[in-house]
Structure 1
Amino acid sequence: MAKARVAPKITTIPRLELMAAVVAVQTSDFLRKELEIDNLHEYFWTDSKVVLGYINNDAIRFHVFVANRIQRIQQSTDTTQWRYVTSEDNPADHASRGLTSEELVSSNWFKGPKFLWQSELPKDDKVGGIIVHDPELKKIQVHKIQAKEKASLLERLHKFSEWTRVVKAIARLMRRAKEIKGLKRKEAELTIIKMVQQSAFDDEIQSLKQRKEIKSSNQRNKLHRLNPFLDEYGILRVGGRLRHSALHPHVKHPAILPKDSYISTLLVKYYHERVHHQGRGMTVNELRSNGFWIVGCSKAVKFRRSTEEQMMADLPQDCMETTPPFTYCGMYCFGPFYIKEGRKELKRYGLLLTCMCSRAVHVEMLDDLSTDAFINALRAFIAIRGGPVHQLRSDQGTNFVEKTFKEFGCEFIMNAPSASHRGGTWERQIRTIRTMAVVNSRPLTTETLNDPSGPQPLTPNHILTMKSSIILPPPGNFVKDDLYLRKRWRKVQYLVNEFWSRWRKEYLLNLQTRQKWHKSRRNTKVNDIVILKDDTAPRNGHVRTVKLLMSDSTLNDKGKRVTKPTYLERPIQKIVTLIEAD
């Protein structure tokens, strides 16, 4: 029974040879079904070494066309049934190449190859191995994977947030692995320390095992200064100079750990909480007294967070109103200055008052820092500069008494204690104060200083020398020509309007930017636990000042404890939040 097929479309020779092999398998299935012969041994012959290579490989390695036909062949036959036949002995070639009648009669078309009539089949030459280079193979991308040694367990410890949890986890792991009950905590700690040391100090440990000294030129972790050695458990410990002391061996020779290890961070956190957040020195002492020496420990112990911060507030409205000078003021007492009166050497102080909008400065002398001296200076200021003074701002000086300002009919606002940054308007003038004429002649802006053709720089004296108690200007338009008129009031009014016009353009717009504290932060809340450093106040929706409850009771005159809360007011820049309230 012979079959010959015509190729349905143009394709490659190996594909046609593979299709012929599929025809052979289908013919074999048909014959076994019709003949019903038991224990029939079948063999398949092909003169294509490529097809034998396909059959002896996995179908998944090839493209769909070849893979489907390989699966069909392997479904009905085994690879050992396939043999190689040379083209000269293959009678199937006669159908594709064509023969004359004489050549057909003398050929092996009717009888098959001669080796089939022999008592034994020829030995299989094992043609068809693993195919490496073939256009039918799929292109497979092989990704290089680097396996990390010893790092798997140590890196898994990063998911723990506390030292005690790490120790418990390692203890459970060792208990399971060794099937030991009652494993001590110390053994688990030593196992963790050993893993960290092998990861960070492997070269130093190998040098010590080979009884070599650690070179003093190795400045990476400065172990040469510690004179390290390996104990009986293989732990790297400090040799030091306390060998003859009566301390515990682990305290005399603490285990060495690197500062950049996650385990070191957990240890620092654990012992920092044990000493109740008492600072770097106490934490370092607690670490070393428990048998741990972290290289560069002082830099590693940084658990006292920075003080609170809030975005810089908007400027108050009184800094942006076109009001007469010193309508809204900030004041500050400075000194002392030593003077001589006869043979006596006396102290004198200064009272600095600055206008919140024009930044003009007025200075009065104080005999002392008493309230009486301040009232006299304030009266002299109002007499010289005139009124009205609507608002006064200051720090919480003891000589500034709020009831005093009610007599002058002005509002009095005090900053929180230790919040000197809130009085920058007047605090900054202490550096430059000499005489009022010099200070009030300072330019408010620098844009026109280097321009000879530009207008004269804007200074506080421009408004001080033309002050009027009338807040609103008189009706009418005032132009530059008014400077040459005999009517002085029109000249003065034009200069006043010119000042405020340039004040808006040249100075006020320069206050737009926030010099620091650019981001909004979490607001401090009631029940927050903080470390006191200083105070802040809420303004524009943000908490900037807090009132701290120091105690809720006190002793009265009879020695009995009574309820009397004690509070302390500070800005948020002087507190550190330890635990945030929900």
Structure 2
Amino acid sequence: MERALGLQWCVQSDSFKFNITISERALTRRGILSMVSSIYDPLGFLCPLTLPAKLLLQELCRQNFGWDVTIPHTLSEQWTNWNSKLSLLEGFEVPRCFKPHHFGESVHSQIHHFSDASELGYGTASYLRMTNAKGKVHIAFLMGKARVAPLKRQTIPRLELAAAALSVKVDRMLKAELPSTRDKSVFWSDSTAVLKYISNDHTRFHTYVANRTSRIREATQVSQWRYINTKRNPADDCSRGVSAESFMRNPRWIRGPEFLWSSEEDWPNEPIDRSQLCTDDPEVRKSVTVNSIMQTCEERPTDKLLNYFSDWLKLRVAVAWIMKVKDALRHLVQKRKDSKDDYMYQRANRINTRSVKISMKESITVEDLKGAENAILTYVQRQSFPQEISMLQEGASCVRKGSSIYRLDPMLDGGILRVGGRLRRSAMPEERKHPAILAKDHHVSTLILRYIHAQTGHGGRNHMLSQKEQRKTW
């Protein structure tokens, strides 16, 4: 008999045995953790048996017991009862070799993973199914893992999915250690929700489910996953925990489920439809439908004109020419209306058409540019501050308090909205008392600032503001 940290290897029978003797320590959280950790079980032979002890430690953690605080009587009874039954494991043994004597060469070898979860914990059990040339089947226990459920409450489908992801992780490790397995692994789960999550690759899930399902799909195929009833699932033992008596009385944990010893035709059939998820499944992201109405309106010709130019001087010249032609055409139309005699009408038509042609050959004067500036500013202000201008035209002494220019005490001067206030009584030059008000985000305001910036030789901000305030128009 060879021994290693409580695990015994009987050389004569070539099997593993357990003779667990736990050194008594103080019944505190630290002492119980030390005693549970002293059980050496690297392959998970005793997973269903050790889970109740782990649940006891989790309960102590949930109740915020200190490491060296004596546990209450109710919990100490649970620990004493569990510890006293470990002596029953003296008759427990597991064959070391996966393949029995005189079995011969295995023709087919396949790993089967069973996963399950409950409110207490989740786990997985893995078995190697071998078939020789004569069709004889043998099942060998490979590995078992059991974990307690997180302190933060999770739904059962999420825990079932965590168990399925754990079985995929175990499969990767076993495939690396057992290169002799020829067939694809088979994964069994008793959760229909998990099987539907894995099968639906077009559905959007929440982060927890999405991360684990993507991890499962990367390593496995949907056809490798099968359904098994809970009563026939050996992983149910490691997700709930069993007592020492039940563990020794029921050999299913080491032997595997009975149907694996039969041919594949006798395996459980799948009675579920994986393609349809429940409409009220909380893990499915709700699709949000947004209805929007797009109202398209053509840009005004005047706005197109203002946005077309990138230079303030060119814009003023263009507007000045347009106003010049407009005045000439207006004069022509007025002459036509005043003419009552047909001869006089034709003569007036001829004379005014000639006058329009002559005016187009004339040059733009300073007064024309000034009038163009006033027209541009008037139009821009009516677009930016229509309510304020309307109130002042109706005789109001000030604009509404909610207006963005209320603090400027605006006033109308020749149709242009200007800054008011007590500066009118100051001795400052008239052109600096009442500058025009423009919206800061308007294209015309940008053109004016660029023009002043160029005129001042790209001066600083204060110099630009000083030059701007010297112009009454701006």
Band of TM-score, shorter chain: 0.3 to 0.5
Structure 1 or 2, whichever has the larger Rg, is 1
Normalised to the residue count of structure 2, the TM-score between the two structures is 0.32
Query: What TM-score does the superposition give when structure 1 sets the normalisation length?
Result: 0.27
Higher relative contact order (CA 8 A, sep 6+): 2
Greater helix content: 2
